[in-house]
Amino acid sequence: MLKYASNVFHALKVAFANEVGAISQQLGIDGRQVMQLFCQDRELNISPRYLQPGFGFGGSCLPKDLRAIVHVAKELDLATPLLASVIGSNDAHIQRVVDAVIDTGKRRVALLGLSFKPGSDDLRESPFVRLAEALIGRGLIVGVSDPDVAIGNLVGRNRSYIQDRLPHLAEALVHEWDDLVRGADVVIVAKPPEGLERLAHFLRPDQFIIDLVGLNLPGDVFRPWVTHPSFGNPREESPEPRQLDEGGRPHPPARLARIGANEE
């Protein structure tokens, strides 16, 4: 799987640079100069940042800027299928978690975290707002706790956005998450809660726990980047024992091995 992840990312980088270059060309800009400056950012652009599986992106910048550059490409009559597909990919990832909750058949949900990142009360296009909106739309009862969010402090577009998406947020939002977790059938950890060390003591074996952060929580926890026992392994209907090669390394799963054989 590491080989495929590496080569797919290399291909993704080539396609990304080429689409940026194509747009730059039509705008009278040197695309290589753009990418050279882009690569000088070693904190975010060329770094491990944003390269860990988790939940979807959101906030007031990423979706807006992505839509803007895709719109510019359309205005220039340029095909940029990679850039144009990113929003759809993000939507699909959020939907996977919605489906995981719906499939449990449980109705009372505790959502720990609502703004798009810790330390911010910005709710605009937060993936957790979209998650809550989708679950409420399916008839589930969703309670929310986020110490970064106070209804009275929301202003401007931030306030307008949440009033449009979650008009009854004031009724669902609680400051202390303890009672919220106690009364829930599903607990979704969207951001690390205050008093994180106490969370494990409130979780019950009958609750369905979803971890979108990557915390060290006890029991069977659903994470959208690793197989969960309640959902089985969708890639192998009848898992086979992992055999070792001559160097003592495990052979790849059967499906990946079949793909590799087809390439040769």
Per-residue confidence (pLDDT) for residue 184, from 0 to 100: 96
Coil, helix or strand for 121?
coil
Helices (H), the chain: 2-26, 31-39, 62-75, 81-104, 127-137, 156-165, 169-172, 178-182, 196-202, 254-263
**What is the spatial distance between Cα 173 and Cα 72, in angstroms, rounded to a whole number?**
39
Enter the pTM of the model: 0.82
Per-residue confidence (pLDDT) for residue 203, from 0 to 100: 93
Per-residue confidence (pLDDT) for residue 235, from 0 to 100: 39
Report pLDDT digits (tens) over 33-54.
999 999 999 999 999 999 899 9
Report pLDDT digits (tens) over 207-219.
999 999 999 888 7
Per-residue confidence (pLDDT) for residue 195, from 0 to 100: 87
Domains observed in the chain: 1-51 (no CATH), 91-222 (3.40.50.720)
pLDDT category, 233, cuts 50, 70, 90? very low
Per-residue confidence (pLDDT) for residue 234, from 0 to 100: 42
Cβ distance 207 to 184 under 8 Å? yes
Question: Rounded mean pLDDT of the chain?
Answer: 88
Residues whose CB falls within 8 Å of the CB of residue 67, separated by 6 or more in sequence, listed in order: 87
Give the type of residue at 151: I
- CB atoms near residue 21 (< 10 Å): 16
Report pLDDT digits (tens) over 77-117.
999 999 999 999 999 999 999 999 999 999 999 999 999 99
pLDDT category, 29, cuts 50, 70, 90? very high
Coil, helix or strand for 244?
strand
From the candidates 12, 29, 61, 150, give the one annotated as an active-site residue: 61
Higher pLDDT, 172 or 256: 172
Per-residue confidence (pLDDT) for residue 8, from 0 to 100: 84
One DSSP character per residue, 170-189 reads HHHEES--HHHHHT-SEEEE
**Known catalytic residue: 61?**
yes
